[in-house]
Structure 1
């Protein structure tokens, strides 16, 4: 690997880490009036269209199953989500939002729409916004494709 490649990888990683922090901060602000945290919003959002098992949510979000399980249990305890039987797997129940959970998500929609409009304008329009999404998707797919080739530190 050349020094230029390493530098590009480092700049990319630092940029993504910074973006993650920025998205979490703005998400916390948007979610707070609805009585949610960014993490609760993220997990509820993952099951709005269809119920999913915790492992499926974790895969979609790229985080650990244990993290999602902890949040899912909190959402159920707060009455914002419920577990329902999974016909495909007896032990892996499906998480689904309750009406209270859907109502909380709807409370976020105005702020979410405003943020999307501001971000679109700041990026220079819808075409630029769409290109940003494509680049991030491409980066994610590339990392997924090569992740099997990255050695585990314990294997060295």
Structure 2
């Protein structure tokens, strides 16, 4: 019984992820970006993460994030900086142009989120987020135990 309910939850979550990616692409498009590029730009704002750390934080493959970061660097939206913790793993930092593009996206995203969020109570959204976070923790623990 619970397995069926979880399977339905997982299918819904996957469908939602697809819709969120499509919406993110639309939000990022006026700034000449995609959802994936937006995620890397947002992570680069911290300025203290390597490509591998960004990939782990986003749950993406390092190679894919490296390709995106190299393109963003080529466009002058991020820069690589020396990492005092690791000689070869450069830190990814947002440039002024990158910050401007990210700002355009975030203004659009805030309005979009406000519109959708108005259909729910904060408690409903917090409960849904908590369930999703627990599932992610369980899946991450399972992955870690497999090596």
- TM-score over 0.5 for the alignment? yes
Instruction: Kindly indicate whether residue 17 of structure 2 is the aligned counterpart of residue 20 of structure 1.
Output: yes
Q: Tell whether the 8 Å contact from 2:78 to 2:95 is kept in structure 1 after alignment.
A: yes
TM-score, length of structure 1 as denominator length: 0.86
Q: Which runs of 5+ in 2 are unaligned?
A: none
Mapped to 1, the partners of 2:137 and 2:54 lie a distance apart of 18
Q: Secondary structure at the match of 2:89?
A: coil
Aligned to 1:108: 105
Aligned to 2:61: 64
Q: Tell whether the 8 Å contact from 2:82 to 2:91 is kept in structure 1 after alignment.
A: yes
| C-alpha RMSD of matched pairs (Å) | 1.7
Aligned to 1:11: 8
Aligned to 1:143: 139
Change (3 A) 1:148 1:95: closer
Q: Which runs of 5+ in 1 are unaligned?
A: none
Mapped to 1, the partners of 2:60 and 2:112 lie a distance apart of 24
Aligned residues: 147
Counterparts of 1:7-156 in structure 2, within 5 Å, are 7-122=4-119, 124-149=120-145
Larger strand share, 1 or 2 = 2
Q: Which has the higher contact order (CA 8 A, sep 6+)?
A: 2
